[in-house]
Amino acid sequence: MKGKVGRAFDLLFNRGAGAIPVRGKHLSARERLSLALRGALARRVTVDDGERSYHFECNREEELYRVRTLQEKEPGTLNWIDSDLRPGDVFFDIGANIGLFTIYAACRLKATGMVYAFEPHAPSFCSLLRNIELNGLRNRAQALSCALHAEDGFFPFNYRVLTPGASDSQLDSTSTAEQAKFKPKAVELKQGISVDTLIRQGVVKSPDLVKIDVDGNELLILQGMKKLLSGVHAPRAIQVEVNPRYPELLDYLESTGFGLAERHYTVYQERRLAAGDYTPEQAGYNGIFRKD
């Protein structure tokens, strides 16, 4: 094996601390290098906020970026969890991805509390499972790979990309939250189910707090929890990613008795607002809704 590819292969496979054993003699040098680089990137990253430490396994650049920006990207979400979450609460993390907020919330709960983490994207779901185990939170965080929806049934889940930590894959659609069409890298027949059905069947407990960030599908999921939102066991607060393209979301929440109490922006949105790229009315935001 000669050249730069061969030398990199030798370094990573034969001398690297995290070398990956590859069986079979039919992989090309470039394929073996690709596998080696994946192994070289795999690492455990610890984030410390001064009170607690959170541990994550990162196998891809997308995961590493998410972990490294945990305390910077959505400070409003962290502040909301800090101020509203109580030790014995049930917390729904809908759109959990690799589990950043799942881990953050679960570390603040006691034995009677529980985080239900919903993530239908299979590669991200695998990372979510690993991160729950890595933090020793099996008894305080349960992961569900079903796709929450307004209806119960099976629908095509269209993968925009197949890497963990990615976003914008869609259930029964090939358009992103920004209405950009994409050609799926893969399609899975995925179970869609409503929150109301899960609660009625006793699969999950009624939540005290709900976070929803699902790439434009927020309204469909909220419609699937109408009994919960309108009932006596309604959550104290819901944080929803609000896209100005879907004004009906605010009307729907108001019809269930939830009003917008506050809003906060991601760091990216703050920068766009400061640059004058759009007005607050045009910008997406995380809205915190409470019973009127």
Same domain for 87 and 14? no
Same domain for 208 and 113? yes
Same domain for 262 and 123? yes
Same domain for 145 and 108? yes
Same domain for 175 and 212? yes
Residue 262 Cα distances to 65, 178, 238, 251, 272, angstroms: 27, 23, 11, 16, 19
CB 163 within 8 A of CB 203: no
With pLDDT > 70 as the criterion, what percentage of the chain qualifies? Answer: 86
CATH number of domain containing 250: 3.40.50.150
Highest mean pLDDT pick, 3-7, 24-28, 228-232, 273-277: 228-232
Residue 234 located in a structural domain? yes
Same domain for 17 and 142? no
Same domain for 30 and 92? no
104-129 mean pLDDT:
97
Quote the pLDDT of residue 278.
84
Range from 205-219, 251-265, 275-289 carrying the lowest mean pLDDT: 275-289
Same domain for 73 and 31? no
Residue 49 located in a structural domain? no
Residue 57 located in a structural domain? no
Residue 5 located in a structural domain? yes
> If DSSP states are collapsed to H, E and C, what string results for 242-274?
ECCCCCHHHHHHHHCCEEEEEEECCHHHHHHHH
Beta strands 186-193 and 153-159, pairing class: antiparallel
Residue 142 located in a structural domain? yes
Same domain for 263 and 135? yes
Q: Which domain holds residue 109?
A: 69-291
232-257 mean pLDDT:
94
Residue 119 located in a structural domain? yes
Looking up tokens 């610890």 gives 46
Cα dihedral 34→36→38→39 (10° resolution): 170
Same domain for 14 and 151? no
Q: How many domains does the chain have?
A: 2
Quote the pLDDT of residue 30.
66
Same domain for 147 and 36? no
Same domain for 11 and 114? no
